[in-house]
Amino acid sequence: MGAAPPPGYYGSRFDVVVLVSEEYQPPDSAFPGVRVRRFPFDDSMRPTSADFRMAIEAAKSVASDIVRGRRVLVTCSMGRNRSALVAALAIHRATGVSGRRAADYVRRRRVDSLGVRALSNPAFVKFLSAF
């Protein structure tokens, strides 16, 4: 998972790029050599049920790809919340660990260049705790 990737070739590192940031949706042609999947939703402190449904659909897709052995990059604008939510939901779905444990795992593994840990959105953390 990470921040919005600049256009370029990622085929040597990934099979699938998943774009979950509603404000960053470059064309598929910006990422030659990979399959691009789009699940755009908002990084709001008051997410809607539609935002959560989109995150769940993205996580289903990511978990399915991972189980099939595909290398997946899940991205949002900053690489902190939406991509972390989807990654944690995918981990939960693929492994059966609790949402809280998946969130803890993502937080330990993803710290940005400013030292900010992933999943700083309390609404996303609360949502994960339900799983």
What is the three-class DSSP state of 51? helix
pLDDT tens across 71-130, in order?
Answer: 999 999 998 999 999 999 999 999 999 999 999 999 998 877 667 789 999 999 999 999
Average pLDDT over residues 45-58: 95
C-alpha–C-alpha distance, residues 57 and 48, integer Å:
14
Q: With CA atoms as reference, report the closest residue to 22 among 47, 11, 71.
A: 47
C-alpha–C-alpha distance, residues 61 and 66, integer Å:
9
CATH code for the part of the protein at 2-129: 3.90.190.10
Average pLDDT value for the chain:
94
What is the three-class DSSP state of 128? helix
Q: Any idea what DSSP says for residue 5? A: P
Break the chain into its structural domains and give their ranges: 2-129
Q: Is 79 left (phi over 0), alpha (psi -120 to 50) or beta?
A: left
